[in-house]
Structure formats: structure tokens, C-alpha cells
Amino acid sequence: MCALARKLQSRNHETVLMCLPDTEPFVRAAGLSFLPCCENEFPIGSVDQYVRGIGTRQGEEALQLSIEACAAMTNAMFNSLPATLKAVAVDALVLDTYLFYAELLPISLGMPYAHVSNALHFDYSGYTPLPVYGWPHETRPESIERNREGVANFLKIVRQANGEARAYAERVGLKVNWDNPQATISQLAWLTQTPKEFDFESSHWPSQLHHTGPFHDGAGRIDVEFPWDRLTGEPIIYASMGTLQNRVANVFHTIASATSKLKDVQLVFSLGEHVDPKEIGPLPKSAITVKYAPQLELLKRTAVCITHAGLNTVLEALAQGVPQVAIPVTNDQPGVAARIADKKTGLVLPLKDLSTPRLSGLLDEVLTDPTSRNNSQYFQKIIAKTNGLSMAANIMERAFGLT
């Protein structure tokens, strides 16, 4: 979102990032104006409380906590954001689709708005599986019926968590078709970072949905130190389980153990804030562990990326032509992993099947079989040619009548 805002700013549009107080350092590092929201409900340090709970869970339990966290943020916005939007004279709003029903705010104010799916987008039609499920894309009637049952189950969780949205709509006099989960999605523009070629094929995508490709510009990130002098020149296996689902210690232990079984490789482990290297057991002698890695730069030197299948990490790996071994945990990660398997840019290991022999075998296969690397390099060319960030900015300008 920062990259998109910065691109629009470079085209002489005034942009401001509105988010929780904890995000200010990241927004400032991106060179953008920052406007805090929901300060009373989410004072500094409060985001970590949600992350701590989500990071030790997996599957549907973690998914439910994530949706509840998003709902809590949206509910807080209903209370505080209308006055803020009026005070700073905002002309248009760009919202993440994971803030379910936050668009009721601009609708109630008569303000134009667009949507961005920074994580994998949702297909409520049932013609492709929702990303919270790791199901393959199939067009048989029974598969579509399964997908629609999945949609119904997912929407129960969303509606239960977002009860305040209905109350807000009633309070401001909005009539919403609550039976249609896409009723309030922006009609002006809905962007997904997912390249169309990497997505499941479907003729049922909404007309306002645009597959742009990733919003990467290689700038605007908080600087992190990295011991570049410790790289041995051996093929790098870069492992990162993201910023949320990164507290399951046995996953880190298995990654370290599996990598130690391979010869002539070097493990670089990005652990996040909450894992001590001592918790994960013996590491290969040449292994490098850091809290945070300069991921874009490191991926340029990486042979294989072990990932939780978070969309941003996977797209950054593809942008560098790096194959992946995916260990999806929750949220949209099963759907991203299903696309990795479908497009053969890497291999997928479900969390329930994770073991040292299985992971070691998959890593060896990706390192020795050129299929995953060749396919990842194919998507590297597509991402470079498409230039998703420029495409996204063009669409936003057209949607808001700025051209």
C-alpha cells in the first residue's frame, strides 16, 4: 500500500496513509505522510497483542482470530474515522479488502473509494476456491459445490465478527444487501497484486477486478543490517515464515533440521521479533539467523525460498525468479500455495505433513530439478513486463477521474 501511495505521489497527487499508530515507522520510512486512526482503541503496542495470539495458532483457529482482529480495527474506524476524513478533506479513499465492510464509511459520506487486495483476493462466486482453503482449481460440478459450501462457512465467520458493520449501516441509514458479500466492493476499481497468469483461470471475475501484479518498487523500507560478509557463496536457502504466523517453534526446528541434511547450501533464517535461535535447536554451521532480512536484496542471491506462502513473499520470490517450498499456515496462504502447486513454481508441504525427511526431500528436489526454477523465471519475466505498480496507479487515476 505504501508503494502504491508513493507511486501516486510521484505523479503529483497528494497522498496520506491512514492506519494504526504502530504502523507509523513503516509509513515514515516510505517517505509518506502518516495520519493515525483509532488511537484510543489501538494505542501503540496493541497490534503486538493480536500478533502474539495469531502467531501461535494455525488453520481455522488462526483465521478466525485474524478476521476478528480486522473486524476490531474496522469497528474502531466506524467510531473515529468519519470526523478525521472530514477534517483533512480527503477526496477519495483506497481500502484493503481484508478490512471487511470498512467501505461503509466512504459510502455513508458520499466519497469515492477503491479496493486493493494486498493479500490474495476472494472469489465469492464459487468458480474458484476461496484462498483460505488449499483446494486445487477444478471445474467439475461437485468441486464448484464444494467451493460454495466453503464460501458459506467462511461468511459465517466474517458476519459473526462484523456485527458492528450492520449496526453502523443502520445508524447512518444505509441499505446493504448482506446476502451478497460483494455488494459493497468498489465499483470503480478493485486491484489484486496477483498476476493474472499466476491466478486460477475463471471467466467469472467481476469486471472491476484488475490483476495488476505486485506493487514493488525496491524502496521505502526500514533499513535492516545484514552480515553480507558471512555468505559463503554456496546456494542460499532463504527461510521466512512471515510476520504473523512465525511463533510455531517446531516449524523453525524442522526447517533447520531439514537444511542440515543437505550438502553445500547455506541457510539464511529470518525469525522475526519473537523467536530466539536457541528455541529452534542446532543450526547448520554456516547458517545465518536474523530478526529481519533485507528480503528483496537477499532473494536476488537465493536458490530456494522456504515460505509460509504469504502473497508478498511469494511474489517477491517470483519477481526474482526464485522457486519456493511453501508451508502454508492459515489465512490466504493455502490459496497461494495451491497456485504455487498449480503453476509449478515450487512444491507445497502442508503443515500437518511437515517433517525433516519430507522437507529435506522437497528442498533437494527443487534444487536439482529445474522445473520450479524455470517456471519461476517465466513469472519473473511476466512481472517485469507487466509493471504492476504503474498499472495500479494508472487504474487508480482513471477510477478517481485524475487523468
- Cα 293 versus chain centre, distance: 17
Contact predicate 314/119, CB 8 Å: no
pLDDT above 60 (res 55): no
**Within 10 Å of residue 261's Cβ, how many Cβ atoms?**
15
Does the structure show a pLDDT above 80 at 268? yes
Strands 288-290 and 93-96: unpaired
Does 99 lie in the same domain as 46? yes
Q: Are residues 150 and 245 in the same domain?
A: no
Residue 271 counted as domain residue: yes
62-114, pLDDT tens digit by residue?
888 888 888 888 999 998 888 888 888 899 999 999 999 999 999 999 999 99
What's residue 151's pLDDT? 95
Domain span at 354: 228-369
* Domain-embedded: residue 294: yes
Distance CA 363, CA 266 (A): 12
Q: Is residue 223 part of a domain?
A: no
pLDDT in tens, 139-159: 999 999 999 999 999 999 998
- Decide which of 276 and 89 is more confident: 89
Same domain, 119 and 193: yes
In a domain, 297, yes or no: yes
CA distance 30 to 17: 10
Mean pLDDT, range 128-148, rounded to an integer: 96
351 and 243 within one domain = yes
Of 133-137, 249-253, 329-333, 343-347, the poorest mean pLDDT is in: 249-253
Q: Kindly state whether residue 60 falls inside one of the protein's structural domains.
A: yes
Q: How confident is the model at residue 246 (pLDDT cuts 50, 70, 90)?
A: very low
The 10s digit of each residue's pLDDT in 65-78 is: 888 888 888 999 99
* Mean pLDDT, residues 273-295 taken together: 85
Number of domains present in the structure of the chain:
2
Residues 20 and 151 in one domain: yes
Instruction: Identify any residues that bridge with 94 across adjacent strands, giving them in sequence order.
Output: 114
pTM of the model: 0.93
CATH number of the domain encompassing residue 310: 3.40.50.2000
pLDDT value at residue 282: 83
Whether 79 and 177 map to the same domain: the answer is: yes
Structure confidence at residue 279 as a pLDDT band (50, 70, 90): confident
At residue 77, what is the residue type?
M
- Residue 375 within a domain: no
Whether residues 266 and 346 fall in one domain? yes
Q: Do 68 and 194 lie in a common domain?
A: yes
